[in-house]
Amino acid sequence: MNLNFPTLQPAAPASALVETAFNFVQTALKDAEGGHDWFHALRVYQNATYIGGREGGDLEVVQLTALLHDIGDSKFHHGDEQIGPAKIGAFLEEQNARPELKLAVLESCERMSFRKNLEQRQELSLEGAIVQDADRLDAIGAIGIGRAFHFGGHKNRLLFDPAVPPNLQMSTETYKKKDGPTINHFFEKLLLLKDQMNTPTGKELAEQRHRFMESFLSQFFNEWNGTI
């Protein structure tokens, strides 16, 4: 096995504003929970830039949305849904972003979360759809598994409890309040994402990551039951 840690060369920013957003987000998320930190934003930026290169759309909007989407995430602010949009809007105002750019980024950031789409699918621009795919890709596969257990540890949740079944019919409010074992999260969200991808590129990239999660869960349950 190659033990040399990979180095990440960020994709070229589409504008000076994107470059400024890099610095802003890196500072804003430096102490964030490890699954929603600067490195998460950077991975989503990389994924979104790649998908956008294949699917089209305004690359500046794509990159800004990817970088800013988790600023003020409500799950870390007692469920307050207004903090994120306020912080994003203030940043874009300070940078004198043109009004249509600000609106495009804010709309995409506010509509793309899994939670917001539980009861009714939100309408997204092409750019929003690209970033939603990029964000969801980071929630599945090896990174997604790591993020799930990191957040579960952050919330002091059980790894697994056979007596607590997944809730497959959650409303938006139920999802916000859920505190079940981390393994349940795979069935309540992560395994559903492959079929919710928007773009052909997102669908293609999700396939292998989805299979990896299925393999992991099979191994997990075998080990839990002491069968291997």
Res 177: pLDDT: 83
The 10 Å Cβ neighbour count of residue 158 is: 13
222, 155 Cβ separation under 8 angstroms? no
Amino acid at 67: L
Q: What is the pTM of this model?
A: 0.93
Percent of residues, the chain, with pLDDT higher than 70: 94
The DSSP code for 1 is: -
Res 76: pLDDT: 58
pLDDT at residue 166 above 80? yes
Please state the rounded mean pLDDT for residues 128-148: 97
Give the residue carrying structure tokens 């999802």: 175
Which CATH architecture describes the domain 16-224?
Orthogonal Bundle (1.10)
Q: What is the pLDDT of residues 187-224, one digit of tens each?
A: 999 999 999 999 999 999 999 999 999 999 999 999 99
Please state the rounded mean pLDDT for residues 154-168: 96
From the number of C-beta atoms within 10 Å of its C-beta (0-12, 13-18, 19+), residue 60 rates as: buried
The 10 Å Cβ neighbour count of residue 122 is: 14
E strands within 45-162? none
- What rounded mean pLDDT belongs to the chain? 93
Res 74: pLDDT: 60
Res 174: pLDDT: 87
Please state the rounded mean pLDDT for residues 144-148: 97
Query: Using alpha carbons only, what angle is made at residue 8 by residues 127 and 200, rounded to the nearest 5 degrees?
Result: 35
Give the residue carrying structure tokens 């590129």: 201
Rounded to the nearest angstrom, the gap between the alpha carbon of residue 85 and the centroid of all alpha carbons in its chain is 16
Res 63: pLDDT: 98
Q: What is the rounded distance in angstroms from the CA atom of residue 109 to the CA atom of residue 127?
A: 10
Res 198: pLDDT: 97
Q: What is the pLDDT of residues 47-103, one digit of tens each?
A: 999 999 999 999 999 999 999 999 967 665 555 677 888 999 999 999 999 999 999
Amino acid at 104: A
